Amino acid sequence: MGASAIDEQLVEALAAIYGRHAGHRAVHAKGTWARGSFSASDEAAALCRAEHFQGTEVEALVRFSNASGDPESHDADRDNRGIGVKLRVREGVETDILGTTSPAFVARTPEDFLEVLRLRRADPATGQPDMEKLGAYLTAHPEAQTAVLATISSQPPESFTTLTYFSPHAFRLLAADATGTWVRWRWLSPGGEQRIADDEARERGRDYLREELAKRLAAGPAELDLVFQLAAEGDPLEDPTAVWPDEREIIVAGWLQLSELIESPERDGHIDVFDPLRLIDGVEPSADPVLHARPRAYSVSAHRRWDRPQPPA
Protein backbone atom coordinates (compact mmCIF):
# COMPACT_ATOMS: atom_id res chain seq x y z
CA MET A 1 0.00 0.00 0.00
CA GLY A 2 1.62 3.25 -1.07
CA ALA A 3 1.78 6.30 1.14
CA SER A 4 0.05 9.61 0.50
CA ALA A 5 1.36 13.07 1.34
CA ILE A 6 -0.38 13.16 4.72
CA ASP A 7 1.15 9.83 5.75
CA GLU A 8 4.62 11.25 5.17
CA GLN A 9 3.63 14.45 6.98
CA LEU A 10 2.41 12.53 10.03
CA VAL A 11 5.73 10.73 10.39
CA GLU A 12 7.63 13.99 9.83
CA ALA A 13 5.54 15.71 12.50
CA LEU A 14 6.31 12.93 14.99
CA ALA A 15 10.03 13.28 14.22
CA ALA A 16 9.76 17.02 14.86
CA ILE A 17 8.45 16.27 18.36
CA TYR A 18 10.64 13.33 19.38
CA GLY A 19 13.66 13.62 17.10
CA ARG A 20 14.92 11.13 14.53
CA HIS A 21 16.13 7.83 15.93
CA ALA A 22 17.62 5.48 13.36
CA GLY A 23 16.17 1.99 13.43
CA HIS A 24 13.25 2.92 15.69
CA ARG A 25 9.54 3.48 15.22
CA ALA A 26 8.31 7.06 14.82
CA VAL A 27 6.09 6.52 17.87
CA HIS A 28 5.98 3.75 20.50
CA ALA A 29 9.73 3.61 19.94
CA LYS A 30 10.69 1.94 23.23
CA GLY A 31 9.39 -1.60 23.37
CA THR A 32 9.53 -4.71 25.53
CA TRP A 33 8.90 -8.05 23.85
CA ALA A 34 7.34 -11.24 25.16
CA ARG A 35 6.19 -14.58 23.83
CA GLY A 36 3.02 -16.42 24.79
CA SER A 37 -0.23 -17.91 23.57
CA PHE A 38 -3.87 -16.95 23.14
CA SER A 39 -7.00 -19.06 23.60
CA ALA A 40 -10.52 -17.83 22.80
CA SER A 41 -13.69 -18.38 24.80
CA ASP A 42 -16.84 -20.16 23.66
CA GLU A 43 -18.60 -16.78 23.66
CA ALA A 44 -16.08 -15.41 21.16
CA ALA A 45 -16.50 -18.45 18.91
CA ALA A 46 -20.27 -17.93 18.90
CA LEU A 47 -19.87 -14.30 17.78
CA CYS A 48 -17.02 -14.70 15.33
CA ARG A 49 -15.99 -17.37 12.82
CA ALA A 50 -12.37 -16.15 12.59
CA GLU A 51 -9.88 -18.98 13.18
CA HIS A 52 -8.21 -17.41 16.20
CA PHE A 53 -11.57 -17.22 18.01
CA GLN A 54 -12.37 -20.93 17.73
CA GLY A 55 -10.66 -21.93 20.99
CA THR A 56 -7.49 -23.53 19.63
CA GLU A 57 -4.35 -22.22 21.33
CA VAL A 58 -2.55 -19.76 19.06
CA GLU A 59 1.07 -18.60 19.29
CA ALA A 60 1.39 -14.93 20.29
CA LEU A 61 4.20 -12.40 19.84
CA VAL A 62 3.65 -9.40 22.14
CA ARG A 63 5.22 -5.96 22.25
CA PHE A 64 4.56 -3.54 25.12
CA SER A 65 5.62 0.07 24.64
CA ASN A 66 5.68 3.64 25.82
CA ALA A 67 3.83 5.92 23.41
CA SER A 68 6.73 8.31 23.02
CA GLY A 69 8.84 8.38 19.89
CA ASP A 70 11.98 8.59 22.05
CA PRO A 71 13.55 5.12 22.50
CA GLU A 72 15.31 6.41 25.65
CA SER A 73 12.14 7.64 27.36
CA HIS A 74 11.80 7.09 31.11
CA ASP A 75 9.17 4.56 32.13
CA ALA A 76 7.95 6.98 34.81
CA ASP A 77 6.81 9.55 32.24
CA ARG A 78 3.10 10.27 32.18
CA ASP A 79 2.36 8.83 28.80
CA ASN A 80 0.13 6.25 27.19
CA ARG A 81 1.32 2.65 27.06
CA GLY A 82 0.65 0.35 24.12
CA ILE A 83 0.29 -3.33 23.42
CA GLY A 84 0.66 -5.07 20.08
CA VAL A 85 -0.35 -8.73 19.95
CA LYS A 86 0.52 -10.68 16.81
CA LEU A 87 -1.36 -13.98 16.64
CA ARG A 88 0.22 -16.58 14.38
CA VAL A 89 -2.97 -18.41 13.51
CA ARG A 90 -1.24 -20.98 11.29
CA GLU A 91 1.64 -21.08 8.86
CA GLY A 92 1.57 -17.90 6.78
CA VAL A 93 -1.55 -16.45 8.49
CA GLU A 94 -1.27 -13.71 11.10
CA THR A 95 -3.60 -11.17 12.65
CA ASP A 96 -2.87 -8.29 15.02
CA ILE A 97 -4.83 -6.96 18.02
CA LEU A 98 -3.63 -3.55 19.24
CA GLY A 99 -4.51 -1.30 22.15
CA THR A 100 -3.39 1.72 24.16
CA THR A 101 -4.13 2.84 27.70
CA SER A 102 -6.14 5.82 26.48
CA PRO A 103 -9.85 4.99 26.05
CA ALA A 104 -10.06 7.36 23.09
CA PHE A 105 -7.93 8.77 20.29
CA VAL A 106 -7.11 12.46 20.18
CA ALA A 107 -8.52 13.21 16.71
CA ARG A 108 -11.37 12.16 14.42
CA THR A 109 -9.38 12.43 11.19
CA PRO A 110 -5.75 12.12 10.09
CA GLU A 111 -5.84 15.81 9.17
CA ASP A 112 -6.86 16.81 12.70
CA PHE A 113 -4.19 14.52 14.14
CA LEU A 114 -1.56 16.19 11.96
CA GLU A 115 -2.67 19.58 13.29
CA VAL A 116 -2.36 18.33 16.88
CA LEU A 117 1.13 17.00 16.25
CA ARG A 118 2.30 20.25 14.70
CA LEU A 119 0.93 22.21 17.65
CA ARG A 120 2.82 19.92 20.05
CA ARG A 121 6.19 20.76 18.48
CA ALA A 122 8.33 22.68 20.94
CA ASP A 123 9.37 26.26 20.22
CA PRO A 124 13.20 26.25 20.01
CA ALA A 125 13.29 29.46 22.07
CA THR A 126 11.30 28.09 25.03
CA GLY A 127 11.59 24.34 24.69
CA GLN A 128 7.82 24.14 25.08
CA PRO A 129 4.82 24.06 22.70
CA ASP A 130 2.74 27.19 22.26
CA MET A 131 0.18 26.47 25.00
CA GLU A 132 -2.09 29.29 23.82
CA LYS A 133 -2.45 27.71 20.39
CA LEU A 134 -2.88 24.23 21.90
CA GLY A 135 -5.57 25.57 24.22
CA ALA A 136 -7.37 27.20 21.31
CA TYR A 137 -7.32 23.91 19.41
CA LEU A 138 -8.79 22.01 22.38
CA THR A 139 -11.50 24.62 22.74
CA ALA A 140 -12.39 24.25 19.07
CA HIS A 141 -12.10 20.44 19.25
CA PRO A 142 -13.62 19.31 22.57
CA GLU A 143 -13.63 15.72 21.27
CA ALA A 144 -9.84 15.68 21.82
CA GLN A 145 -10.08 16.34 25.54
CA THR A 146 -10.87 12.75 26.62
CA ALA A 147 -7.57 11.48 25.25
CA VAL A 148 -5.56 14.44 26.53
CA LEU A 149 -6.95 14.14 30.06
CA ALA A 150 -6.43 10.38 30.10
CA THR A 151 -2.75 10.89 29.32
CA ILE A 152 -1.90 13.68 31.74
CA SER A 153 -4.00 12.43 34.66
CA SER A 154 -2.79 8.80 34.77
CA GLN A 155 -0.02 7.89 37.19
CA PRO A 156 2.75 5.58 35.94
CA PRO A 157 1.91 1.87 35.81
CA GLU A 158 3.18 -0.69 38.28
CA SER A 159 3.57 -3.15 35.41
CA PHE A 160 2.75 -3.53 31.75
CA THR A 161 0.49 -6.38 32.87
CA THR A 162 -1.62 -4.33 35.32
CA LEU A 163 -3.17 -1.98 32.78
CA THR A 164 -6.23 -1.78 30.53
CA TYR A 165 -5.48 -1.39 26.82
CA PHE A 166 -8.31 -0.06 24.63
CA SER A 167 -9.00 -0.09 20.92
CA PRO A 168 -10.68 3.21 19.98
CA HIS A 169 -11.77 1.58 16.70
CA ALA A 170 -14.82 -0.58 15.99
CA PHE A 171 -14.73 -3.92 14.19
CA ARG A 172 -17.56 -6.10 12.88
CA LEU A 173 -17.41 -9.72 13.90
CA LEU A 174 -19.06 -12.21 11.56
CA ALA A 175 -20.52 -15.41 12.99
CA ALA A 176 -20.70 -18.71 11.10
CA ASP A 177 -24.11 -17.69 9.72
CA ALA A 178 -22.72 -14.25 8.66
CA THR A 179 -24.57 -12.45 11.48
CA GLY A 180 -22.61 -9.31 12.32
CA THR A 181 -21.80 -7.76 15.71
CA TRP A 182 -19.96 -4.47 16.13
CA VAL A 183 -17.43 -4.43 18.97
CA ARG A 184 -14.47 -2.64 20.40
CA TRP A 185 -11.92 -4.74 22.22
CA ARG A 186 -9.80 -4.30 25.31
CA TRP A 187 -6.96 -6.16 26.98
CA LEU A 188 -7.59 -6.27 30.74
CA SER A 189 -5.50 -7.18 33.75
CA PRO A 190 -7.40 -9.86 35.73
CA GLY A 191 -6.40 -8.08 38.95
CA GLY A 192 -7.46 -4.64 37.74
CA GLU A 193 -5.34 -1.58 37.08
CA GLN A 194 -2.43 -0.91 39.42
CA ARG A 195 -0.44 2.31 39.27
CA ILE A 196 2.22 3.90 41.44
CA ALA A 197 3.21 7.42 42.48
CA ASP A 198 5.36 9.48 40.11
CA ASP A 199 8.26 9.70 42.57
CA GLU A 200 8.27 5.96 43.19
CA ALA A 201 8.24 5.23 39.46
CA ARG A 202 11.13 7.65 38.90
CA GLU A 203 13.14 5.99 41.66
CA ARG A 204 12.66 2.54 40.10
CA GLY A 205 14.72 3.60 37.11
CA ARG A 206 14.34 4.39 33.45
CA ASP A 207 13.62 0.81 32.39
CA TYR A 208 11.69 -0.41 35.41
CA LEU A 209 8.75 -1.74 33.37
CA ARG A 210 10.94 -4.15 31.43
CA GLU A 211 12.73 -5.16 34.62
CA GLU A 212 9.43 -5.77 36.41
CA LEU A 213 8.09 -7.89 33.56
CA ALA A 214 11.28 -9.96 33.48
CA LYS A 215 10.98 -10.65 37.20
CA ARG A 216 7.27 -11.41 36.95
CA LEU A 217 7.65 -13.89 34.09
CA ALA A 218 10.63 -15.56 35.73
CA ALA A 219 8.24 -16.47 38.56
CA GLY A 220 5.56 -17.85 36.21
CA PRO A 221 3.16 -16.90 33.40
CA ALA A 222 1.17 -13.65 33.43
CA GLU A 223 -2.28 -13.21 31.90
CA LEU A 224 -4.28 -10.54 30.15
CA ASP A 225 -7.94 -11.01 29.25
CA LEU A 226 -9.37 -9.98 25.88
CA VAL A 227 -12.90 -8.60 26.17
CA PHE A 228 -15.41 -7.36 23.62
CA GLN A 229 -17.57 -4.31 24.30
CA LEU A 230 -20.70 -4.74 22.20
CA ALA A 231 -22.13 -1.71 20.42
CA ALA A 232 -25.73 -0.64 20.92
CA GLU A 233 -27.85 1.22 18.41
CA GLY A 234 -26.55 4.73 17.92
CA ASP A 235 -23.04 4.12 19.21
CA PRO A 236 -20.52 5.82 16.87
CA LEU A 237 -18.61 3.30 14.79
CA GLU A 238 -16.33 5.68 12.89
CA ASP A 239 -15.31 8.19 15.59
CA PRO A 240 -12.25 7.08 17.60
CA THR A 241 -12.59 10.06 19.97
CA ALA A 242 -15.98 8.88 21.27
CA VAL A 243 -16.13 6.51 24.25
CA TRP A 244 -19.03 4.05 24.31
CA PRO A 245 -21.07 4.06 27.54
CA ASP A 246 -19.87 1.83 30.38
CA GLU A 247 -23.19 0.02 30.53
CA ARG A 248 -22.65 -1.61 27.14
CA GLU A 249 -22.47 -5.41 27.31
CA ILE A 250 -19.00 -6.85 27.89
CA ILE A 251 -18.04 -10.45 27.16
CA VAL A 252 -14.76 -12.22 27.84
CA ALA A 253 -13.37 -13.23 24.44
CA GLY A 254 -10.21 -15.04 25.48
CA TRP A 255 -7.00 -15.14 27.44
CA LEU A 256 -3.46 -14.11 26.57
CA GLN A 257 -0.85 -15.99 28.56
CA LEU A 258 2.63 -14.46 28.58
CA SER A 259 5.28 -17.12 29.11
CA GLU A 260 8.66 -15.44 28.67
CA LEU A 261 10.41 -12.17 28.04
CA ILE A 262 12.40 -12.15 24.81
CA GLU A 263 14.90 -9.88 23.14
CA SER A 264 13.67 -7.90 20.17
CA PRO A 265 13.22 -10.19 17.15
CA GLU A 266 13.92 -7.23 14.87
CA ARG A 267 17.39 -7.79 13.51
CA ASP A 268 19.23 -8.63 10.32
CA GLY A 269 16.75 -6.69 8.19
CA HIS A 270 13.65 -8.25 9.80
CA ILE A 271 11.00 -6.07 11.46
CA ASP A 272 7.58 -6.86 12.89
CA VAL A 273 4.83 -4.34 12.16
CA PHE A 274 1.66 -4.46 14.26
CA ASP A 275 -1.15 -3.41 11.95
CA PRO A 276 -4.76 -2.92 13.17
CA LEU A 277 -5.97 -3.77 9.66
CA ARG A 278 -4.14 -7.08 9.49
CA LEU A 279 -7.42 -8.99 9.75
CA ILE A 280 -8.60 -12.40 8.61
CA ASP A 281 -11.98 -13.74 7.53
CA GLY A 282 -14.57 -13.13 10.22
CA VAL A 283 -13.38 -9.64 11.27
CA GLU A 284 -14.14 -6.48 9.29
CA PRO A 285 -13.10 -2.87 9.99
CA SER A 286 -15.33 0.15 10.26
CA ALA A 287 -14.83 3.09 7.90
CA ASP A 288 -13.05 5.07 10.67
CA PRO A 289 -10.59 7.30 8.73
CA VAL A 290 -7.97 7.18 11.49
CA LEU A 291 -8.04 3.38 11.50
CA HIS A 292 -7.47 3.29 7.74
CA ALA A 293 -4.66 5.85 7.91
CA ARG A 294 -2.64 3.94 10.49
CA PRO A 295 -1.23 1.18 8.24
CA ARG A 296 -0.08 3.70 5.64
CA ALA A 297 1.75 5.81 8.22
CA TYR A 298 3.24 2.65 9.75
CA SER A 299 4.49 1.74 6.29
CA VAL A 300 6.30 5.07 6.00
CA SER A 301 7.86 4.56 9.43
CA ALA A 302 8.82 0.95 8.62
CA HIS A 303 10.56 1.88 5.39
CA ARG A 304 12.52 4.57 7.21
CA ARG A 305 13.60 2.02 9.80
CA TRP A 306 14.77 -0.17 6.92
CA ASP A 307 16.36 2.91 5.35
CA ARG A 308 14.54 2.08 2.14
CA PRO A 309 12.48 4.38 -0.08
CA GLN A 310 8.72 4.18 0.24
CA PRO A 311 7.13 2.54 -2.83
CA PRO A 312 4.94 4.82 -4.95
CA ALA A 313 1.19 4.93 -4.37
The string of pLDDT tens digits covering residues 169-189 is 999 999 999 999 999 999 999
Task: Identify the weakest region by mean pLDDT among 47-51, 78-82, 123-127, 228-232.
Answer: 123-127
% of the chain at pLDDT higher than 70 = 96
Q: Find the catalytic residue in 28, 52, 74, 169.
A: 28
N-to-C CA span, the chain = 7
Distance CA 247, CA 244 (A): 8
**Which residue stretches of the chain are H helix?**
5-18, 42-47, 110-120, 131-140, 145-153, 198-204, 208-218, 289-306
Indicate if 303 belongs to the active site: no
CATH numeric code, 5-306: 2.40.180.10
Per-residue pLDDT at 110 exceeds 90: yes
Mean pLDDT, to the nearest integer, of 183-210? 97
Question: What are the pLDDT digits (tens) for 119-131?
Answer: 999 988 888 999 9
Please give the residue that has the higher pLDDT: either 72 or 268. Answer: 72
Spell out the domain ranges in the chain. 5-306
Can you point out the beta strands (E) in the chain?
31-40, 58-66, 81-90, 93-100, 165-166, 171-174, 180-188, 222-230, 250-262, 283-285
SS3 136: helix
Percent of the chain with pLDDT over 90: 90
pTM equals 0.94
